[in-house]
C-alpha cells in the first residue's frame, strides 16, 4: 500500500473533542497489519498522564484482533488552518511497537506522503541485547 491511502484512511478518524481539561481525537493513527487488515485509533489526552497516543489505540485494536506484526503505521492531525499533517511517532510509541513484536522493526513508518522509513531506522540504538537484533 502506498502512503497516501493509509494517510487518508487515518484522517477519517480525526474527531477532536474537548471536555474541560481533557481532549481526545486530535490525532488519529492507522496501522496496516502484515495480514492486510487496517486498525485505527485516536489519542486521549488527560492532565494526569493517564492518556495515550493514537498509535497505542490502533495497536491495541490490532492485538485485540490477535495480530501483532505491523506492515505500515501513520499518525495524522490537522494544523490550525485545517491542513492535514503527518506526525512521526513519539519515542514511547516507537518502543511500544517494537515491544509488541520484534518483527515490527521492519514496519514502514509513514513520515509524510513521500517519506517512509522503517521502525529500525527510527530506533537505531535499541537498548536490547545485540544478539536479539
State the average pLDDT over residues 50-74.
97
Residue 73 is predicted with a pLDDT of: 98
DSSP class per residue in 51-85: -B-HHHHHHHHHHHTT---EEEEEEEEE-TTS-EE
pTM of structure: 0.92
> How do residues 79-132 score in pLDDT, each as one tens digit?
999 999 999 999 999 999 999 999 999 999 999 999 999 999 999 888 875 555
pLDDT of the residue at 76: 98
pLDDT at 62 over 70: yes
How many CB atoms are closer than 10 A to CB 21? 9
CB of 60 within 8 A of CB of 41?
yes
- On whether the CB atoms of residues 61 and 100 are closer than 8 A, the answer is no
Does domain 3-132 correspond to CATH entry 3.40.50.620? no
* Residue closest to 65 by CA, chosen among 99, 27, 38, 98: 38
Please name the helix (run of DSSP H) or strand (run of DSSP E) that holds residue 102, with its range, or none.
Answer: none
Q: pLDDT, tens digit, for every residue of 18-57?
A: 998 888 889 999 999 999 999 999 999 998 878 899 999 9
Q: Is 89 helix (H, G, I), strand (E, B) or coil?
A: coil
pLDDT average, residue stretch 48-77:
96
Amino acid at each position: 500500500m502506498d502512503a497516501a491511502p493509509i494517510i487518508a484512511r487515518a484522517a477519517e478518524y480525526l474527531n477532536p473533542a474537548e471536555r474541560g481539561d481533557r481532549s481526545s481525537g486530535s490525532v488519529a493513527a492507522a496501522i496496516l497489519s502484515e495480514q492486510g487488515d487496517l486498525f485505527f485509533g485516536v489519542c486521549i489526552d488527560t492532565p494526569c498522564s493517564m492518556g495515550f497516543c493514537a498509535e497505542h489505540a490502533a495497536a491495541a485494536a490490532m492485538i485485540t484482533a490477535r495480530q501483532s506484526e505491523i506492515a505500515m503505521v501513520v499518525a495524522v492531525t490537522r494544523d490550525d488552518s485545517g491542513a492535514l499533517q503527518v506526525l512521526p511517532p513519539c519515542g514511547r510509541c516507537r518502543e511500544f511497537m517494537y515491544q509488541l513484536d520484534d518483527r515490527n522493526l521492519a514496519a514502514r513508518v509513514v513520515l509524510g506522503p513521500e517519506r517512509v522509513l522503517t521502525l529500525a531506522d527510527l530506533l537505531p540504538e535499541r537498548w536490547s541485547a545485540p544478539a536479539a537484533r
